[in-house]
């Protein structure tokens, strides 16, 4: 008789520990296959963060090299908007496949609460229940014995999808992380712990404004949003670390004022830690403070959004409307305003600014 492990959950997103547990189950229980079952409407959660397709895409990437792992869409493709209950799924699977012995896998946190599951006793009769060790959850023996759980031998798992969404990207397969940052998923929570709350609010505001300006100009709003979310990712990095990155990767800019180093360091962090590979996004991050004669239209959206962020405390509505109608004119206006502000306040202007000012304002280049 074929032996198939079933591993259900929201997988929002799938992470390394999910795959690790699946491998252990295959080996220890001598299973022929593991089927991941992403739920459409998890009974234990109010909503998902990623879309159905995004969750499925990430799962495909996470198990692409695992020939004994597949995805079963029975729940996520359900036409109903009601909560997905495991007992209903198992009734269908066991009826359709009477020659398969199913092993249903869950974490110890859920196993300890299994008596609260809908028709728990019936589930335990239809399948063999399996629990893996999770950090902070000792097996509750009465429940484990009552429902005849098999316990996997594994090091306690501390990873969780919610931790990933809070910034623990080390828990992700690289292909999944690249997908997340390429599609702009979870970004607002993903970067929250990289900066103080005030800067985080500014960052989210800039990203939304940049996307709005891009959309109004018929540009790629997702690129603008992603670049906006990462434009200050290294702003609060300690000086020792940022100096090391500047020396190693941007030595030609070491003479620039330290307050603007973050545009180059943020590009580095975005590319090497978050695996962003879109050159338009990376360049927009790099050019968001000083600008550049090579700045793209998306880069201009991020540049002006950073300068005109409503959270800065002044009324920038009129300037924003100009940017929405014509980002190139809005960018020129922003350069003009920076120049006039600096002159009024006797602030030093970096020599590179004059080249940019002359190119876009004096010559009127686009």
Domain ranges of the chain: 2-176, 195-362
Report residue 352's pLDDT band, with 50, 70 and 90 as the boundaries.
Answer: confident
The pLDDT of residue 348: 81
The pLDDT of residue 274: 98
2-176 CATH:
3.40.50.620
Single out the residue of 83, 106, 81 nearest to residue 5, CA to CA: 106
Report residue 235's pLDDT band, with 50, 70 and 90 as the boundaries.
Answer: very high
Residues in the chain: 366
Mean pLDDT of the region 181-192: 97
The pLDDT of residue 80: 75
Q: What confidence tens digit (pLDDT) does each residue in 259-284 have?
A: 999 999 999 999 999 999 999 999 99
Distance, CA of 172 to CA of 70 (rounded, Å): 18
The pLDDT of residue 42: 62
Distance, CA of 191 to CA of 311 (rounded, Å): 18
The pLDDT of residue 193: 95
Distance, CA of 38 to CA of 35 (rounded, Å): 10
pLDDT, mean over the chain:
95
Question: In terms of CATH, what superfamily is 195-362?
Answer: Hypothetical protein af1432 (1.10.3210.10)
The pLDDT of residue 347: 82
Distance, CA of 29 to CA of 248 (rounded, Å): 49
Q: What is the pTM of this model?
A: 0.94
For residue 129, give the H/E element and its range: strand 128-132
For residue 351, give the H/E element and its range: helix 351-357
Q: What confidence tens digit (pLDDT) does each residue in 304-350 have?
A: 999 999 999 989 999 999 999 999 999 999 999 988 888 888 888 88
For the chain, the C-alpha Rg in angstroms (whole number) is: 26
């Amino acid at each position: 008789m074929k032996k198939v492990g079933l591993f259900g959950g929201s997988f929002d997103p799938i992470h390394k520990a999910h795959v690790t547990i699946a491998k252990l189950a295959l080996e220890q229980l001598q299973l022929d296959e593991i089927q991941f079952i992403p739920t459409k409407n998890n009974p234990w959660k109010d909503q998902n963060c990623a879309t159905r397709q995004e969750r499925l895409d990430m799962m495909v990437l996470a198990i692409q090299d695992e020939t004994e792992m597949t995805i079963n869409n029975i729940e996520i493709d359900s036409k109903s908007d009601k909560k997905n209950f495991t007992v209903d799924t198992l009734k269908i699977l066991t009826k359709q496949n009477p020659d398969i012995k199913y092993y249903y896998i869950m974490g110890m946190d859920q196993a300890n609460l299994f008596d609260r599951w809908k028709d728990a006793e019936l589930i335990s009769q239809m399948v063999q229940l399996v629990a893996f060790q999770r950090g902070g959850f000792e097996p509750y023996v009465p429940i484990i014995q009552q429902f005849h759980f098999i316990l996997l031998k594994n090091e306690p798992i501390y990873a969780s999808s919610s931790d990933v969404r809070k910034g623990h990207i080390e828990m992700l397969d690289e292909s999944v992380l690249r997908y997340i940052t390429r599609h702009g998923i979870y970004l607002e929570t993903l970067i929250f712990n990289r900066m103080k709350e005030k800067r985080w609010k500014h960052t989210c505001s800039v990203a939304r404004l940049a996307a709005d300006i891009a959309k109004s100009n018929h540009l790629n709003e997702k690129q603008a949003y992603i670049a906006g979310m990462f434009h200050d990712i290294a702003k609060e990095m300690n000086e020792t670390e940022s100096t090391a990155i500047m020396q190693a990767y941007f030595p030609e800019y070491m003479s620039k004022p330290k307050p603007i180093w973050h545009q180059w360091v943020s590009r580095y962090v975005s590319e090497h830690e978050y695996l962003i590979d879109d050159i338009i996004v990376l360049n927009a991050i790099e050019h968001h403070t000083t600008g550049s004669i090579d700045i793209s239209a998306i880069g201009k959206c991020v540049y002006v959004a950073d300068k005109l962020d409503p959270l800065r405390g002044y009324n920038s509505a009129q300037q924003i409307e100009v940017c929405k109608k014509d980002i190139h004119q809005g960018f020129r206006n922003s350069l003009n305003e920076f120049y006039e502000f600096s002159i009024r306040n006797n602030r030093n202007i970096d020599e590179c600014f004059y080249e940019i000012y002359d190119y876009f304002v004096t010559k009127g280049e686009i």
